[in-house]
Structure 1
Amino acid sequence: MTAATFQHLDIATLGDWLDADRPLTLVDIRDPASFAAGRIPGSRHLDNAGVPALLAGAPRETPLVVVCYHGHSSQQAAAWLAGQGFAEVYSLDGGFTDWQVRHPDRVEA
């Protein structure tokens, strides 16, 4: 049996997907205060307490994109979520920090 894996997603591709209204589940694993201060439009905060609701409600066939601060801790979360049966799981390279630098007009609070 092979381990479930995730893929890396760059900022430009995520921007294209959002522009095209591509169906996806976008989760942000940063701390609640950082998420409240600014986030990628359409994202939802995910912490340990929210994982059961995500697993129960998110469609497994819809791409799942995990966002953190810089694109490091999202890799661990993405690998774990890939093991939970999601068909396509991505870790956003550069994380929210890079998104905010490249797309300051595409940050909501």
Structure 2
Amino acid sequence: MGSKRYQDVVARQVAERLRSGENLIIIDVREPHEFAAGHIPGAINIPLGELRAHLDRFSPEAEIFLVCRSGVRSAEAARIMAGSGFRRIRNIQDGMLGWEGPIAK
């Protein structure tokens, strides 16, 4: 099989970029009750099952970070987005379990 069409990153890398003042597009693909319990500040909640219906909200050229609890659902979301023509998808592979930055509720 060919290589995957998205890049894995770890939560620490994303937290460092946010701390440096970058404005990142982060999509949290967990369910609303999980998102409400705590999420990365500024993240957009689009549950995995609803992702395809929202793809037109984003530019295929934009760098987009995907997160879930542990990296499994976000990897599936990354496959969906990459397969739909998005070129700069980043999967936060350790998910919220690896997140040590600020938490919004």
How far the C-alpha of 1:28 sits from its partner, in A, is 0.7
Name structure 2 gaps, 5 residues minimum: none
Can you list the C-alpha shifts for 1:31-61, whole angstroms capped at 9, x where unaligned? 11010111001111112335323x1121222
Contact 1:10/1:93 (8 A) holds in 2: yes
Task: List runs of 5+ in structure 1 lacking aligned partners.
Answer: none
Instruction: State whether residues 23 and 63 of structure 1, in contact with CA within 8 Å, keep that contact through their aligned partners in structure 2.
Output: no
Residue type of the alignment partner of 1:108: A
Higher mean alpha-carbon deviation, 78-87 vs 3-12, is at 3-12
Deviation for aligned residue 1:21 = 3.3
TM-score relative to the length of structure 2 = 0.84
Q: State the percentage of identical aligned residues.
A: 26
Report the Cα distance in structure 2 between the residues aligned to 1:49 and 1:91, rounded to whole angstroms: 17
Residues 26 and 65 in structure 1, CA contact (< 8 A), matched pair in contact too: yes
| Range 32-41 or range 69-78, more displaced | 69-78
Count of residue correspondences:
103
Rounded to whole Å, the distance in 2 between the matches of 1:57 and 1:33 is: 22
Deviation sequence 1:41-87 (CA, Å, 0-9, x none): 1111112335323x112122221111011112211111111111212
Quote the offset at 1:20 in angstroms.
Answer: 2.8
CA RMSD across the alignment: 1.8
